[in-house]
Structure 1
Amino acid sequence: MTSYHVLEITYDYNGQKQAICPTLLQDASETILIDCGYPDFLPLLGEAAKRYKVPLESITKLIVTHHDMDHIGSLAALKRAYPHIEIIAHELDTPYIDGTKKALRLQQAESTFDALPDEAKPQAEQFIRLVASIEPVPVDRTVCHGERLPWCGGIDIVHTPGHLPGHMSLYLPASKTLIAGDAVVIEQGRLNIANASFAWDLGEAVRSVQRLLEYDIDQIICYHGGLFRGDVRQALRHLIHAYTS
């Protein structure tokens, strides 16, 4: 028996209420967390998991959809607290998680800093410091597009680049569920591209949405927005049309 839980974590950011949605998958032998929030989110993550009677120490594996700081910020703290957790990431994203290469968001922020107006530079400096402070963590297992992980009824790796080159989503064929990461988000009840103006390659991000049409999806779990149900194919087509028409 496989189950999943959407861990909605709410927090304040610059006086505004925000939310992220890591996901827990469970079967008889595995408890798998997908993404883990910002730095210092371990207590919030523990509270969210506790609502489903899942202690953090029971997590066996952690799958990273990509290396943005709201997805890996607490990765090092989790690994320190629970060294048995196996870290899994896409092969293209792994060098940015383990520190072999400088984080792409850090490169992006540094390369655009000089062109910013002076009033925007203090916030940009704060962002650069925060991204630079993310601790590297060794990746235990790398995966690639089309690979099926054997746990929780099967977890298909779907490479969905664009937001970042190594971004991946996860498809659960047993429940026809897509865990999207940041491939798509929910905004005002509709699917959209995540932070389109900051996408590493917006055209690639749209092509990744097109790739999702190859899968029989009944519901999508978005890291930003939570659970999307309804006519998924139609919603994906509307999104593609909005960026290609």
Structure 2
Amino acid sequence: MLARKPLFPGVIELNFQAGEVLGCNVYLVHDSDEWILIDIGYEETVDDFVEIIRGLDFPLSRCKTLVATHADVDHIQGLAKAKQILKTTISAHPNAVEPLTTGDTLKTLAVIEAQNLKMAMPPVEIENQINDGDIITVGKKEIEVWHTPGHTDSQLAFRIGDVLLSGDNLYRDGCIGAIDAHHGSDIRSFIKSLTRIRDSDVKWLAPSHGPVFAKDNAMLDKVIERVSGYLHMADFGTLAEDWPLMNEWDDEVEQGILPEGLQTPTE
């Protein structure tokens, strides 16, 4: 049996446990011998994670459910394979149901033709739809579900005491999950989700990529300010609410204004 390396009581992150980054963070949450997995990653690493779980002496038959934080391929491509091995159920937000059950390669970002990225997205049935305020019980442990849209419309986070398994909302370096219209990003929703995390009394954030870190409200203030600016930047296309430069351009065209030092040529 492998020596367990929990991050928090009843919470093991399988990459950290393995001493090797195999993909997105996969959290095994347990109480007694009942357990769940939050995310599973790519199909090619499912066997690796299952072997780690075996080595930790968790009975495979006691996996209560596999939970998807959201419907991006790097988090959920392996769900169908893991479900078959573990003979368990899948739990996800209602907005993740259609892309997961249909194997939608566009919304899950499994196929990005402009970058020649083409991955399989095996469809999988979702038995349990979970949403904000729901409680997932594992043994006597209670896990509070938060719906934190922004990165995607199906993004979930999970509170266990003073720890938030925070998905792709925020990373230790102040980066946030990718904003892309194809998988349901929404900037204003992202700001609300980040504000909710900042204003909560959780002490630790355990993200879906990278290391666990202490919640830092000063850092979150800077992130929220930065993301708020995205609402007014052409960089974010149809996800931005406006582009102030175009208002300025309207006025300058109407008034015939040119930059200082540039004059209209005389014909």
The interval holding the TM-score normalised by the smaller chain is 0.7 to 0.9
With over 3 angstroms needed to count, the CA separation of the structure-2 counterparts of 1:218 and 1:11, relative to structure 1, is closer
| Structure 1 residue 234 corresponds to structure 2 residue 222 | no
| Structure 1 residue 35 corresponds to structure 2 residue 39 | yes
| Structure 1 residue 182 corresponds to structure 2 residue 185 | no
For 1:218, the equivalent position in structure 2 comes to 203
The answer to which structure has the higher strand fraction is 1
Counterpart secondary structure, 1:71 = helix
Question: Alignment RMSD, CA only?
Answer: 3.0
Give the Cα–Cα distance (whole angstroms) in 2 for the partners of residues 19 and 11 of structure 1: 12
Counterpart secondary structure, 1:77 = helix
1:1-245 to 2 correspondence within 5 Å? 3-8=10-15, 19-28=23-32, 30-50=34-54, 52-54=56-58, 56-83=60-87, 85-99=88-102, 103-106=106-109, 109=112, 121=114, 124-125=115-116, 127=117, 129-130=118-119, 133-151=120-138, 153-173=141-161, 176-186=162-172, 190-196=173-179, 200-229=185-214, 231-244=215-228
Give the Cα–Cα distance (whole angstroms) in 2 for the partners of residues 164 and 11 of structure 1: 29
> How far did 1:90 drift?
0.7
Give the Cα–Cα distance (whole angstroms) in 1 for the partners of residues 208 and 52 of structure 2: 14
Map Cα deviations across residues 139-192 of structure 1 (whole Å, 9 max, x no partner). Answer: 11101112222335211111111111111111112xx11011111223xxx232
For 1:118, the equivalent position in structure 2 comes to none
Map Cα deviations across residues 14-63 of structure 1 (whole Å, 9 max, x no partner). Answer: xxx87421101001252010000112111221344356443655422111
Q: Which runs of 4+ in 1 moved over 6 A?
A: 9-12
> How far did 1:235 drift?
3.0
> How far did 1:72 drift?
0.7
Task: Give the aligned length.
Answer: 218
Gapped regions of structure 2 (runs ≥ 5): 1-8, 230-267
Gapped regions of structure 1 (runs ≥ 5): 114-120
> How far did 1:108 drift?
8.6
With over 3 angstroms needed to count, the CA separation of the structure-2 counterparts of 1:196 and 1:21, relative to structure 1, is same
**Counterpart residue type for residue 12 of structure 2:** H
**Counterpart residue type for residue 242 of structure 1:** R
**Percent of residue pairs identical:** 23
For 2:235, the equivalent position in structure 1 comes to none
Map Cα deviations across residues 201-226 of structure 1 (whole Å, 9 max, x no partner). Answer: 23322321112134221111111112
For 1:117, the equivalent position in structure 2 comes to none
Structure with bigger RCO (C-alpha 8 Å, 6+ apart)? 1
With over 3 angstroms needed to count, the CA separation of the structure-2 counterparts of 1:60 and 1:107, relative to structure 1, is closer
Give the Cα–Cα distance (whole angstroms) in 1 for the partners of residues 106 and 83 of structure 2: 19
Give the Cα–Cα distance (whole angstroms) in 2 for the partners of residues 59 and 97 of structure 1: 20
Map Cα deviations across residues 107-160 of structure 1 (whole Å, 9 max, x no partner). Answer: 994xxx5xxxxxxx4xx23x2x31xx2111111110111222233521111111
With over 3 angstroms needed to count, the CA separation of the structure-2 counterparts of 1:201 and 1:39, relative to structure 1, is same
Give the Cα–Cα distance (whole angstroms) in 2 for the partners of residues 103 and 170 of structure 1: 26
TM-score, length of structure 2 as denominator length: 0.71
> How far did 1:106 drift?
4.5
Give the Cα–Cα distance (whole angstroms) in 1 for the partners of residues 147 and 107 of structure 2: 17
| 8 Å contact from structure 1 (residues 157, 170) kept in 2 | yes
